[in-house]
Amino acid sequence: MTADLFESVAEVLPSRQAMAEGAVLLRGFARPAEAGLLAALRQIEAQAPFRRMFTPGGHQMSVAMTNCGCCGWVTDASGYRYDGADPESGNPWPAMPAAFRDLAEAAAREAGFAGFAPDACLINRYEPGARMSLHQDRDEKDFAAPIVSVSLGLPAIFLFGGLKRTDRPQRYRLEHGDVVVWGGPSRLSFHGVAPLADGEHPALARRRINLTFRKAR
Ligand code: SIN
Ligand code: FE2
């Protein structure tokens, strides 16, 4: 009984794994905030439903997206940008919930980026087979702020490379509650997600949700 208790505590205790200079994986960091995050997510989704956007080259993305905060990351025939309004409805994006902001700020602080003040959160929804090819996050005004990325639901293989597209990426299995923070010398690192394997998650069923916090403006 005591041994079981220790094992289950060890499972949910956060731990830190250095990935590169300025990049760290905080395992389980979001677990204590899970209920608040999922409740806030349901509200956002009701106001600004997930949609699969088109790249400027005309390809429909396999990942479905929505946003909250001052502005949302969007892509269409005219390019990638942050937009203050949801192009589907014309309404402003839902405000960033306190549960989201608090978690992102705490994770950034834990990773050595105290004072991170995210103004935008891109929310990615992966269903089995969905993937994100290697890219840099570079549509933000100021690269001094880090990126904070929260994984919920089904596990995924996160690819984290270097500053050149051709640098061979490292592979990390990200599980429900894991948080990755990259900034400083890693801020423009190429990253992506391998095709999502099918599975069933107790809270999110056959989905992976990724919250990506940025200082966009
Ligand atoms: C992204 O780069 O926007 C998504 C990363 C992830 O889903 O883990
Ligand atoms: Fe990204």
Domain count for the chain = 1
How crowded is residue 80: how many other Cβ atoms within 10 Å of its Cβ?
A: 14
Per-residue confidence (pLDDT) for residue 34, from 0 to 100: 98
CATH number where 114 lies:
2.60.120.590
**Burial letters for 174-200: b for 16+ Cβ neighbours within 10 Å, e otherwise?**
bbbbbbbbbbbebbebbbebeebeeee
Q: How many whole angstroms separate alpha carbon 149 and alpha carbon 174? A: 10
Give residue 9 CA to ligand 2 midpoint distance, Å. Answer: 31
Q: Which residues pair with 75 in a beta bridge?
A: 80
Ligand 1 atom 2 nearest Cα: 192
7: pLDDT confidence band, cut at 50, 70 and 90?
low
Structure tokens, 175: 């599980």
Q: How many whole angstroms separate alpha carbon 215 and alpha carbon 217? A: 6
2: pLDDT confidence band, cut at 50, 70 and 90?
low
Per-residue confidence (pLDDT) for residue 9, from 0 to 100: 56
Give the containing element (helix H, strand E) for 207: none
Contact 199, 155 (CB under 8 A): yes
Quick one: which of 73, 124, 69, 107 has its CA closest to 183?
107
Owning domain of residue 49: 3-214
Report whether pLDDT(213) > 60: yes
Q: How many whole angstroms separate alpha carbon 206 and alpha carbon 126? A: 9
Tell me the average pLDDT across 151-175: 98
Q: Is 214 in the pocket of ligand 1 (CB under 6 A)?
A: no
> DSSP of 175-187, one letter per residue?
-TT-EEEE-GGGT
Q: Which residues contact 11 (CB under 8 A, 6 or more apart)?
A: 28
* pLDDT > 90 fraction of the chain, expressed in percent and rounded: 93
Atom nearest to 156 CA in ligand 1: 8
Q: How many whole angstroms separate alpha carbon 74 and alpha carbon 85? A: 10
Give residue 183 CA to ligand 2 midpoint distance, Å. Answer: 12
* pLDDT > 70 fraction of the chain, expressed in percent and rounded: 94
The pTM of the whole model exceeds 0.85: yes
Tell me the average pLDDT across 186-195: 98
Per-residue confidence (pLDDT) for residue 59, from 0 to 100: 97
Q: Is 209 in the pocket of ligand 1 (CB under 6 A)?
A: no
Tens of pLDDT, residues 95-124: 999 999 999 999 999 999 999 999 999 999
Per-residue confidence (pLDDT) for residue 162, from 0 to 100: 98
1: pLDDT confidence band, cut at 50, 70 and 90?
very low
Give residue 118 CA to ligand 2 midpoint distance, Å. Answer: 15
Q: Which amino acid is at 105?
A: E
Q: How many whole angstroms separate alpha carbon 213 and alpha carbon 29? A: 15
Q: Is 193 in the pocket of ligand 1 (CB under 6 A)?
A: yes
Tell me the average pLDDT across 71-75: 98
Structure tokens, 75: 């892509």
Contact 150, 107 (CB under 8 A): yes
Tell me the average pLDDT across 140-158: 97
Give residue 42 CA to ligand 1 midpoint distance, Å. Answer: 19
18: pLDDT confidence band, cut at 50, 70 and 90?
very high
3 state SS of 201: strand
> DSSP of 9-68, one letter per residue?
HHHHS-EEEEEETTEEEEETTTGGGHHHHHHHHHHHHHHS--B--B-TTSPBPSSEEEEE
